[in-house]
Amino acid sequence: MTAEYRHLLVKRDGDTITVTMNRPDRRNALSADHLTELLAAFRSAGRTDATGIVLAAAGPVFSAGHDFADVAARDLPGVRELLTLCQQVMTTLESLPQVVIARVHGLATAAGCQLVASCDLAIAAESAGFALPGGKGGWFCHTPAVPVARSIGRKRLMELALTGDVIDARTAVDWGLINYAVPDADLDDAVAALMARATRGSRASKALGKQTLYAQLDRPEAEAYTLAREVMAAASQSPGAREGMAAFLEKRQPVWPD
C-alpha cells in the first residue's frame, strides 16, 4: 500500500486497511478525481492478504455526495461517464474479497449515503446523519437510491428519497441502513470489534461467501437456492471447509490454511 493519493489516506494496521477520504475542505464530495482514487485504492486493497477494509473520512462530514462543481461543468455524456465511474466504485466494494466496514461520522448524503449502503457493514457515531437530499432539490438521487433500496424497506426508501430529510444514526439502525450507532467516542473501538468478529475463520471461505451472498440477494428464491446449493457443495471440498469440519469433529481449535 505505497501508492500516493491526493484525496485519500491509506494505512494498513495488521490485517485491516483503512481508506480515509481526505477532502475535508470539500466535505469529501465525490469528484471524478476522488472517485478514481477510491476505485484504485479499493482494487489495490483487494489484491492484498488483508482480511478487512475500513472506509472512513477526515473532517466534519463523511461525504456530501457528488461534487456539484464537477457535475455542473459536464454535458450529458460527461455526467453519464461520472455516474458510471461512481457505480464502478460501489460495485467494487461488493466484489472485494475482504469485509468492508463504513466508519461514519457527520453527514453521509446522496452518493455519500450510497457509499455507506454499498459497504458490507456500517457503524456510525450517534451524531451522524443520513439523507438522499435530491428529493427536496433539483437533481433527484436516482443512483444513490439503488443500494439504499436494497438495505431498507420500500416505504422508508420513499420517505428518505422523496422528502430529502436527514435521519439520525439511531433511525438508520432501525431502518436497516447501518448495523450500529454508538457514542462518538466509541466509534473506533466499535469498528474494530465488529471487524474482529466479521473476519474470523477461513479467508477463502469468507470471500466466496460474500461473493455468493451478493449474487443471490436479488434473485428469485428458487434461482437463489440453485446458485447457493452449487457453491456450497463445491466449497465443502475446500481446504478451509475440510479443516473446519475436522476441527469440530476432533474437538480442537481449527488451524486455517488460508
- The order of strands in the sheet holding 99-104 is 8-13, 16-21, 52-57, 99-104, 121-125, 180-182
Nearest CA to 130 out of 182, 175, 187, 186 is that of: 175
For the chain, the domains span 8-199, 203-250
Please state, for a pLDDT cut of 70, what percent of the chain lies above it: 99
Residues in contact with 8: Cβ distance below 8 Å, sequence separation at least 6, in sequence order: 19, 20, 21, 22, 34, 37, 38, 41
Q: Is the pLDDT of residue 1 over 80?
A: no
Please state the pTM of the whole predicted model.
0.94
- Give the CATH superfamily of 8-199: 2-enoyl-CoA Hydratase; Chain A, domain 1 (3.90.226.10)
HSE-CB of 85 using CA atoms within 13 angstroms: 19
pLDDT value for 2? 52
Q: What is the mean pLDDT of residues 152-181?
A: 97
Q: Is the pLDDT of residue 112 over 80?
A: yes
- Give the tens place of pLDDT for each residue, 120-161: 999 999 999 999 999 999 999 999 999 999 999 999 999 999
CA dihedral 69, 71, 73, 78 (to 10 degrees): 150
Looking at domain 203-250, its CATH architecture is Orthogonal Bundle (1.10)
112 in Cβ contact with 62 (< 8 Å): yes
> What would the grid cell of residue 17 be?
486497511
- Give the tens place of pLDDT for each residue, 43-60: 999 999 999 999 999 999
Q: Which amino acid is at 245?
A: M
